[in-house]
Amino acid sequence: MNFDDPKVQAVLDGYRRRLEEDDGRMRELGPEGFARRDEFLLPVGEEAAWFLHSLIVARRPQRICELGTSYGYSTLFLSHAAREVGAKVVTMDVADYKQAYAAEQLQAAGLADHVELRCGDAIQLLADDPGPWDFALLDIWKDLYVPGFEALYPKLSEEAVVCSDNMISPKAARPNARDLRAAIKAKGDMHTALLPVGQGIELSVKWSAGNAKL
């Protein structure tokens, strides 16, 4: 699939080229590649990204939270969908150099006005924001999945959607993924399901207490 906006598509094509280059470098580095993973895109992938895009267009959220900007790959899809529905993306990451790269790509795509980049500890940034959040993508380091969700949860709007990536792969992330899924299921008003999309997405929806009993 491609974007109909040539500026957005040009940025996506750039990400595609970088991903090919990253894959080649990862193969060359072998085991050393994991230690240098901050240098690589490590994106959600196009299947998952288009799925997220479609969800936003369908649900029409007003405030979108992305935990884990990284180099802005998924932010491109979130912000394009946000522009379509008149929403705003707030994306958070601790790495300023990654956000700087993402900001350049969003500016080139003509989407910068639909995104707010916040740099710092995601848990603290969430604590400082009053909410509510109508849609969220959870894609930070996996050991922060449960703390990130717990910080996000009290500020979710009714029927808010939370998408959590890497629930199936990589295999090393599965213990953290299981912990996150257990934390989500422990909430009495969260309906959740594991979807075999991309690297595995946990799709969770917050319901009111009355709806949760149905």
Look at residue 100 and tell me if it is in a domain.
yes
Token pair for residue 98?
């990654």
Along the 214 residues of the chain, how does pLDDT read in single tens digits? 999 999 999 999 999 999 999 888 878 887 766 667 778 888 899 999 999 999 999 999 999 999 999 999 999 999 999 999 999 999 999 999 999 999 999 999 999 999 999 999 999 999 999 999 999 999 998 899 999 999 999 999 999 999 999 999 999 899 999 999 999 999 999 999 999 999 999 999 998 655 544 3
Question: pTM of the entire structure?
Answer: 0.93
Look at residue 200 and tell me if it is in a domain.
yes
Domain count within the chain: 1
Task: Look at the chain and count its residues.
Answer: 214
- Domain CATH for 190: 3.40.50.150
Look at residue 11 and tell me if it is in a domain.
no
Look at residue 68 and tell me if it is in a domain.
yes
Look at residue 118 and tell me if it is in a domain.
yes
Look at residue 17 and tell me if it is in a domain.
no
Amino acid letter, 173: A
- What DSSP string describes 109-169? HT-GGGEEEEES-HHHHHHH----EEEEEE-S-GGGHHHHHHHHGGGEEEEEEEEE--SSS
Look at residue 142 and tell me if it is in a domain.
yes
Look at residue 8 and tell me if it is in a domain.
no
Print the domain residue range for 178.
Answer: 43-212
